Structure 1
Amino acid sequence: MAHKNSQKRVKPEDRKKKVIGVVARGCTTRSLIIHLQERQYERDDVCIIGVPCDGYVDGKGLKVKIGGADIVEGTVDGGQLKMKTSDGDKTVALKDVLAECCLTCRFNNPIISDVMIGSPAPAMNPDAEYNDVKEFEAKSIEERWAYFIKEMEKCIRCNACRQACPSCYCPTCFVEQSQPQWVGIGEDKTDTQVFQFMRLYHMVGRCVDCGSCVSVCPMGVDLRKFLKKIDKDCFEMFSNRAGSSMEDMPPLGKYDEHHDKQDFIYNP
């Protein structure tokens, strides 16, 4: 009888609401805020277990640092990463192998959570957040364009960056649309540039600098520099940092006529 009862079908209206538990560090909670602002789910649909973050290891950078050896096991001891590898024991300074986005992170503690585990992590180095962008901005327009072209020539259109990005969740990406067809699906240089341009603009006010796109790119395309440039512009023009507050909507996802300074829109 117990077995039969356990197989009994439950009507949808009688089912209890399913809640998903999410273990989230700072940048993950920023992504969750973006999802909630864009109404991908309701706040009650997720239970957020917040954890402080001291940064994560850049796997590709670590591999280079230890000469390509295979890691058997590893432990963190203070500021050192101690490993047993196929080439013997190795130790590296943790700060030397952290992901680039972690080195200047200003949101290494959860912004929202239902349960918080651990003590808040100390600040990283947010004052240096835009140093690379400022160097890029100091270049001439021709030099910037040449750098963009050079980086895009590496891209093989594998779409790993799109698949890893927490803000890329469209059921049908513009790349796959055929009516109209925005870009080709091959490796034509122009199509690759258009794809990356359009994706970058889709990230305005939505990129949380989690580093996922950089970590999965098999060709080492410097996507973060362009994303941080857009992030810097977004903050300077709209005082917005993506996912930093439930109340602060992405600037290109809201419209308030009372704060629009371009009167010609209303008085053509």
Structure 2
Amino acid sequence: MSSSKRCFSSDGAQIYADAAGNAQNPSMVFAHGFALNGVVFDQLFAHQLLLDNFYLVRYDSALYADDFSAVCQAFGLVKPIFVGWSAGAPIIADICAHISPCPILAAVAMSGALCPATSEQTLRPLLLDFIAKFRSSDAKTTLAVRPAFVDACFVNPASVAVEVKTAWIGATVVHTPNITEAVLNGHQPGACQDALTKLGGEGLPVMVLYGTEDSIQDGDVAVKLAKEYFVDFTAVSVLGAGHAVFYDALNETVRHLVGFGLRVCTKK
């Protein structure tokens, strides 16, 4: 069963969110990455193994912890597993810092930096070039970077269905230079890292999952910079997958998500 809702964050802004699966199952909440939206998770939200085991919710975020709270309230979620992809991963730290007691059962940083204070060290030069072009006031530059950015998310963009790439590129159109500035400068999740690592030392389960061929973010560095802070830490490298690890290696990614999710639910 699927459903969608318009939620309202603390500043009154509307948040689009939708869910799939059985609401009686344990829940997983997904947050997308830079310049995109929840459409990137379409294949995950149609995967039967995930649907058999979890209630899946995805949303488009601007205010991080506040938006997460609004979505959880709207869907009646209690202690979900949070999955942040790419730039969605720093939301984990924001949630841990601003909502008490901790509202998540566990967290997954998928192709993203679990420890946001050190996230710049995980970024590859290609992404830094993309970000500079997204910030440009030149229309030709900002339009040309969008398909290039989307292509870079996949290890073999030529094999990606046209309708998938079109949907992803379309999602970037509303991401104006002003929004890019707001995302990069208006919020500093690195300041929230202490709360996350404190919870990690107390046993909050986390997983870092990434593709070995990611041209945007270095998963090996993300693992190295995070693992010492967490007593329940899982690192998974998916051989041959790119930044959109859940697209390049859908079934393997789902197996890891389900395995991790069931383990932490059993631990609870």
If the TM-score is normalised by the length of the shorter chain, which range does it land in? under 0.3
TM-score normalized by the length of structure 2? 0.23
Larger helix proportion of the pair:
2
Larger strand proportion of the pair:
2
Larger-Rg structure: 1
TM-score normalized by the length of structure 1? 0.23
